[in-house]
Amino acid sequence: MNNTAVDQLQERLRLLQERFFERARGDVETLSGFARLIDQQQLPKVELEKCYQLLHRMAGSAGTFGLPELGQAARAIEKQMKAQLESATDSGADGLVSVSVAVADELRQLATLLENAPEMATSACAQAEADSHDGAHGMQVNVMALGHNLDYLADLVKSLAVYGFVCESGSVDCPNDIAVRLRERSSASILLCEDSGLGDVMGFREQYLPKAEHRRFPVVCVGHENSFETLYRVAEQGATAYFCEPLDMPELAERIESLVLERGSRPQGRVLIVDDDLELGEHYCLVLKQAGIIARLVSDPAELMSELSAFEPDLVLMDVQLRDYSGVTLARLIRYEPRWLGLPIVYLSSEDNPENQLDALSKGADEFLVKPVTDDYLVRSVRIRCYRARQLSDLMNRDSLTGLLKHSLIKQEVDRELARCRRAGHTSCVVMLDLDHFKRVNDTWGHGQGDIVIRTLANLLRNRLRESDVIGRYGGEEFLLILPDCEPVVAVKLIEAIGKSFAELVFWAGDDSFQVTLSAGVALINDFPVSDQAIEAADQALYQRKRDGRNGVTLYHPSLRGIKV
Most confident stretch, 255-269, 350-364, 442-456:
442-456
Query: Is the pLDDT higher at 123 or at 375?
Result: 375
How much is the pLDDT for 388?
78
- Counting residues of the chain whose pLDDT is more than 90, the rounded percentage is 26
- What are the tens digits of pLDDT across the range 504-556? 998 888 788 899 999 999 999 999 999 999 999 999 999 999 999 999 999 99
How much is the pLDDT for 120?
41
Architecture of domain 270-397: 3-Layer(aba) Sandwich (3.40)
How much is the pLDDT for 80?
84
Query: Strand, coil or helix: what is 24?
Result: helix
Specify the DSSP element, H or E, that contains 448: helix 447-464
Between vectors from CA 26 to CA 93 and to CA 7, what angle results, nearest 5°? 130
Residue among 15, 53, 18 nearest 34 (CA): 53
How is 199-244 classified by DSSP, letter by letter? HHHHHHHHHHS-GGGGGG--EEEEES---HHHHHHHHHHT-SEEEE
Q: Where are the beta strands (DSSP E) in 218-344?
A: 219-223, 241-244, 270-274, 294-298, 315-318, 321-322, 325-326
Say what the alpha-carbon torsion angle 454, 457, 463, 466 is, to the nearest 10 degrees. Answer: -100
Determine which of 179-188, 250-259, 381-390, 553-562 has the lowest per-residue pLDDT on average: 179-188
For 509-542, b/e burial (b = at least 16 CB within 10 A) is eeeeeeebebbbbbbbbbebeebeebbbbbbbbb
Structural domain spans, the chain: 3-120, 142-262, 270-397, 407-560
How is 68-89 classified by DSSP, letter by letter? HHHHHHHHHHHHHHHHHHHHHH
Determine which of 75-79, 149-153, 169-173, 412-416 has the lowest per-residue pLDDT on average: 149-153
How much is the pLDDT for 265?
47
Cα→Cα distances 338→291, 341, 531, Å: 31, 5, 25
How much is the pLDDT for 209?
82
CA 100 to centroid of chain Cα atoms? 50
Residue among 389, 408, 388 nearest 398 (CA): 408
> pTM here?
0.55
- What are the tens digits of pLDDT across the range 60-98? 788 788 788 888 888 888 888 888 777 777 666 667 877
- What is the distance between the alpha carbons of residues 429 and 175, in angstroms, rounded to a whole number? 45
* Catalytically active residues, by annotation: 477
- What are the tens digits of pLDDT across the range 278-308? 888 888 898 888 888 889 999 999 999 999 9
Query: Which pLDDT band, with edges at 50, 70 and 90, does 266 fall under?
Result: very low
Q: State whether CATH 1.20.120 applies to domain 3-120.
A: yes
Task: Assess contact for 34 and 81: CB atoms under 8 A.
Answer: no
Q: Cβ of 278: how many Cβ atoms within 10 Å? A: 14
Query: Which pLDDT band, with edges at 50, 70 and 90, does 565 fall under?
Result: very low
Non-local CB neighbours of 207 within 8 Å, separated by 6+ positions:
175
Judge whether residue 163 has pLDDT over 50.
yes
CATH topology of domain 407-560: Alpha-Beta Plaits (3.30.70)
| Domains 142-262 and 270-397 equal at CATH topology level | yes
Q: State whether CATH 3.40.190.10 applies to domain 142-262.
A: no
- What is the distance between the alpha carbons of residues 504 and 499, in angstroms, rounded to a whole number? 9
